[in-house]
């Protein structure tokens, strides 16, 4: 009996002072190994070089595909490319006034030739205040010009009013980088239902896309029910850079991240 009790006591002491700490240490090590394996797996350190090279090739191909898709989408949505005739963002006050005079003369001559009525001054104020940005005013003018050219080409009966509204700047990404700028226009037109259908079709085509923000239709007069008073708010989308520049900027290690287009 004494031998049995002594052996039992020895086993209990061995388990308490030796086996129990070793089991606790084993569990801690297993937990540390599991956590380290998860961290290494997230960073792809557990994969071999060949597997990493294959994954890199797949990601590179996917990135190139997304760049091409982005270039096509941005090019289709771009209503006007500022670099077409302005080159840089440096525009003087006199440049805006000269451009406004030229646009007025051309559009009014075109409207007289086809018999479509336009506002005499195009509702674009030629005065540029000291705190105005002539570059932004120039962009608004080009958007107005683009829309009036469409209205004239579609033979819309009368353009009663076209008024540029303040631009809307869209930002995206963690650094709130400038993504694209929206230039809305308020329109007041007289035209037929056919004119409206043609206008809606044309503004969906690439290179002169306008986003429809609001639309209200009323009979022009009580007697002429075939003519409509069309009131609309339409926006042109102008990207900060060309699609190629925005796509190539993603390769720079110091370039800020840009999110996908918000869309409309």
What domains does the chain contain, in order, with CATH numbers?
78-251 (3.30.70.60)
Is residue 253's pLDDT more than 50? no
Is residue 234's pLDDT more than 80? yes
Is residue 136's pLDDT more than 60? yes
- Among 78-82, 147-151, 192-196, 230-234, the range scoring the smallest mean pLDDT is 78-82
Is residue 144's pLDDT more than 80? yes
Is residue 203's pLDDT more than 50? yes
Please tell me the pTM assigned to this model: 0.62
pLDDT of residue 176: 66
- Label residue 222 by pLDDT band (50, 70, 90): low
pLDDT of residue 106: 92
pLDDT of residue 242: 53
Nearest to 231 by CA among 197, 201, 188: 188
pLDDT of residue 46: 66
Average pLDDT, the chain: 78
Overall average pLDDT of the 21-43 stretch: 82
**For 43, left (φ over 0), alpha (ψ -120 to 50), or beta?**
alpha
Cβ proximity of 185 and 144 under 8 Å: yes
Is residue 83's pLDDT more than 80? no
Overall average pLDDT of the 25-48 stretch: 79
- Label residue 17 by pLDDT band (50, 70, 90): confident
Question: What whole-number percentage of the chain has pLDDT above 70?
Answer: 79
H-helix or E-strand spanning residue 150: helix 134-153
Phi, psi of 81 (to 5 degrees): -105, 110
pLDDT of residue 174: 62
- Label residue 175 by pLDDT band (50, 70, 90): low
CB under 8 Å to 87, separation ≥6 — which residues?
A: none
Pick 171 or 57 by higher pLDDT. 57
Tokens of 101: 């005079």
Is residue 145's pLDDT more than 70? yes
């Amino acid at each position: 009996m004494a031998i049995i009790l002594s052996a039992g006591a020895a086993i209990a002491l061995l388990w308490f002072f030796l086996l129990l700490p070793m089991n606790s240490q084993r569990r801690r090590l297993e937990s540390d190994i599991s956590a380290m394996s998860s961290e290494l797996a997230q960073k792809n350190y557990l994969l071999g070089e060949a597997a990493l090279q294959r994954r890199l090739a797949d990601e590179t191909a996917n990135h190139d595909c997304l760049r091409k898709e982005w270039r096509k989408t941005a090019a289709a949505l771009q209503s006007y490319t500022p670099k077409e005739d302005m080159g840089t963002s440096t525009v003087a006050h006199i440049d805006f006034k000269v451009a406004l005079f030229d646009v007025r003369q051309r559009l009014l001559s075109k409207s007289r030739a086809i018999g479509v009525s336009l506002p005499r001054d195009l509702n674009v104020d030629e005065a540029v205040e000291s705190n105005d940005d002539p570059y932004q005013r120039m962009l608004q003018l080009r958007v107005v010009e683009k829309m009036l050219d469409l209205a004239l080409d579609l033979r819309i009966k009368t353009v009663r009013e076209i008024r540029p509204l303040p631009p809307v700047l869209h930002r995206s990404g963690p650094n709130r980088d400038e993504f694209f700028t929206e230039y809305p226009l308020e329109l007041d037109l007289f035209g037929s239902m056919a004119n409206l259908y043609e206008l809606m079709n044309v503004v969906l085509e690439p290179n002169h896309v306008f986003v429809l923000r609001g639309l209200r239709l009323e009979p022009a007069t009580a007697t002429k029910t075939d003519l409509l008073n069309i009131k609309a708010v339409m926006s042109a989308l102008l990207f900060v850079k060309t699609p190629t520049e925005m796509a190539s900027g993603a390769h720079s290690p110091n370039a800020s991240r840009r999110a996908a287009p918000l869309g409309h």
